Chain A
């Protein structure tokens, strides 16, 4: 499914956060979104995940408009992680991932009350799937600890497993390597390629341009609310406008 933003604008009072931004996330592949601080990356991200409705413009997923409601967007197939990790800290790691699976689990309240065979089957299936996602992101599926007690890097991985458990068509990662060292960043890069190879489209927001250029199939550069450049990493990297936006003009 393709996630498309068409001429999306977002205004907060007089402030124009996004202006006529268009972006297409193809059904597979890794799309990078970079830009200096305050460029509107997070605002665009919030529109693409249903958190806020754009002032004008259209966002569609697989041809149908994306509901401006995070729960419905997730059900539609857009899953996300958070820049500052937001796990359900007191819940177990497995339960965190199971919450990500919430919208794909079919259970009736009555079935849960009497623990009917159908209910137990669906619980077993969901737990198996959650364990598989934990194993996929490289964590021990049998860990029983509360998620909040894991290390920083492992918490990021749980967030990714939680998002993957909901069978997303598009996975949105908000600065997945924030606060990580070189080796950890490389490991996350490998993980993201693994997600792409499962046929899930990935959108990555990052400050780390090196990481984005080595990882993505397609890169968008957002500057002051406008889409400045887009294209394959090699061409975007050498574009003088991008260098200017990041480093400023050479004065001589």
Chain B
């Protein structure tokens, strides 16, 4: 929804003034909020579990120090308080339900009866159930004096949220047996937080501010991203995870050009990541990294044109099949080590880390953790991909791509040479994936064909759809979710594809344009 639409909605009859919650107190919703607060302070696990106290001293011991409300209990208290406000009620309620369900499920799995869980769950359901249908507020746009600090605060908040989400629940089951529950519950809280902000129109407002102060916002965002290593997520482990996400996010942005902008469904896109990775791996010992990276991008771009050529003849489903076949050809060729370029089942091991000015990228720099340099490189890669997407989107080329997506015949009738435009989309997308692939190869040190199978293409496509097709932050959000979740929820790895499917169905049902969408 655009700002203008939002304004119309708020002013229209049935908008602000018809909100019943303003006029008569909604007792059930208030009861729900009260139940959430009570539930947060009740014991959640009736005894100390074998693996140690449940998160945040959730047993009866809690009453030794009731003032120490932290972790998910603090989140519940905050959400319960937010539930008192009309607009925040629904997202807060959803957050409470997620937190309660997650902890209850884990406690039941551990065989521990819970008192606080059911109470908070009932409170959360009451909050969601008594939802007032209120459209988002539309806030006036301030001048630069207020806008810049607001953007700074917003991106600082985003940095905190990213760092807190990454580190929620610790890095593995070995160090924290309740990590999965803590992480999922935190996701519920983060979702509620974003939902509340959105209900008050803050997100639309920030999006408009970002749009207006584009360069400032981009600089702050880049700075915040590079500050992640000095937050709680600044360990070698999280740097590695974050830089992997960065590589996939950059790839997803490239795919977003092909699928989101030009509307060309590509089911074999990961092959370009693979081509870039194998090219860089083969050149790693003979040329410096920048040359290998450019070579990877160029070779991938070349194959992008090769795949793009058939698009002149086929459309829609048929194109999807052609790209699917290309992905499979690449995968099988890599598996069989055709030309001795991919190492086959042995993969290509021993790729040296990137070294610039005598500094190996996998070593710590000063006080900064090892892997920081790879993380910084990944951030720059994503930033570059974003710049390419945004700048091309708002140009003659980008408009031609979107026109082809909307109606190819009309685009032709309007003077767009659609054949060239489509091949260009494949070329740009593949080049970006190839560049990402070169970083991928050096970062991992080993490149094997298994990394580029069909499910990876599907995951990338899911990241684009999940985040919001054609949007810039969408691919990053989608890629982060799809590559963080498996890392955080290793205990559910058997159900990974099922959970992806479920998430996609839910997104398509409730946000058909993706998590990040402008309208």
Chain A positions within 8 Å of B, measured between CB atoms, are 49, 51, 69-71, 74-75, 79-80, 82, 86, 88-91, 95, 98-100, 102-103, 105, 107, 109, 112-115, 119, 123, 126, 144-146, 162-163, 166
**Chain A residue contacts of B172, Cβ below 8 A:** none
B147 within 8 A of A: no
Query: How close is B471's CB to chain A, nearest CB, in angstroms?
Result: 12
**Chain B residue contacts of A119, Cβ below 8 A:** 395
Contact between chains at B391 and A99 (CB < 8 Å): no
Contact between chains at A113 and B392 (CB < 8 Å): yes
- Taking each of B406, B412, B424, which has the highest tally of chain A beta carbons within 10 Å of its own beta carbon? B406
With the chains together, A145 CA to B5 CA distance in Å?
9
Provide the B377-421 mask, 1 if CB < 8 A to any CB of A, else 0.
000000000011001101111111011011101111111111000
Contact between chains at B400 and A99 (CB < 8 Å): yes
Contact between chains at A112 and B416 (CB < 8 Å): no
- Taking each of A71, A86, A90, A144, which has the highest tally of chain B beta carbons within 10 Å of its own beta carbon? A71
Query: How close is B97's CB to chain A, nearest CB, in angstroms?
Result: 34
Q: Which residue of B lies closest to A163 (CB)?
A: B414
Q: Which of A91, A123, A145 contacts B4 (CB 8 A)?
A: A145
With the chains together, A144 CA to B518 CA distance in Å?
12
Contact between chains at B413 and A88 (CB < 8 Å): no
Q: Which residue of A lies closest to B406 (CB)?
A: A88
With the chains together, A105 CA to B399 CA distance in Å?
12
Contact between chains at B397 and A99 (CB < 8 Å): no
Q: Which of B387, B409, B412, B519 contacts A146 (CB 8 A)?
A: B519
**Chain B residue contacts of A166, Cβ below 8 A:** 414-415
**Chain A residue contacts of B396, Cβ below 8 A:** 98, 102, 105, 107, 112, 126
With the chains together, A88 CA to B402 CA distance in Å?
8
B286 within 8 A of A: no
Q: Could you name 13 residue pairs across A and B whose Cβ atoms are closer than 8 Å?
A: A71-B418, A74-B414, A86-B407, A91-B406, A95-B399, A95-B402, A99-B414, A103-B415, A109-B397, A112-B395, A113-B391, A146-B519, A163-B414
From known contacts A88-B407, A112-B396, A145-B2, infer whether A80 and B413 are also in contact, taking CB-CB under 8 Å: yes
Q: Which of B394, B398, B406, B413 contacts A70 (CB 8 A)?
A: B413
Q: Which of A79, A90, A107 contacts B395 (CB 8 A)?
A: A107
Contact between chains at A123 and B519 (CB < 8 Å): no
Contact between chains at B2 and A102 (CB < 8 Å): no
Contact between chains at A82 and B412 (CB < 8 Å): no
From known contacts A112-B392, A144-B4, A145-B4, infer whether A99 and B403 are also in contact, taking CB-CB under 8 Å: yes
**Chain B residue contacts of A144, Cβ below 8 A:** 2, 4
Q: Which of B387, B411, B413 contacts A49 (CB 8 A)?
A: B413
Query: How close is B40's CB to chain A, nearest CB, in angstroms?
Result: 44
From known contacts A99-B400, A144-B4, infer whether A162 and B406 are also in contact, taking CB-CB under 8 Å: no
Contact between chains at A100 and B395 (CB < 8 Å): no
Query: How close is B9's CB to chain A, nearest CB, in angstroms?
Result: 14
Provide the B300-321 mask, 1 if CB < 8 A to any CB of A, else 0.
0000000000000000000000
**Chain A residue contacts of B400, Cβ below 8 A:** 99, 102
With the chains together, A112 CA to B400 CA distance in Å?
13
**Chain A residue contacts of B398, Cβ below 8 A:** 112
With the chains together, A144 CA to B4 CA distance in Å?
8
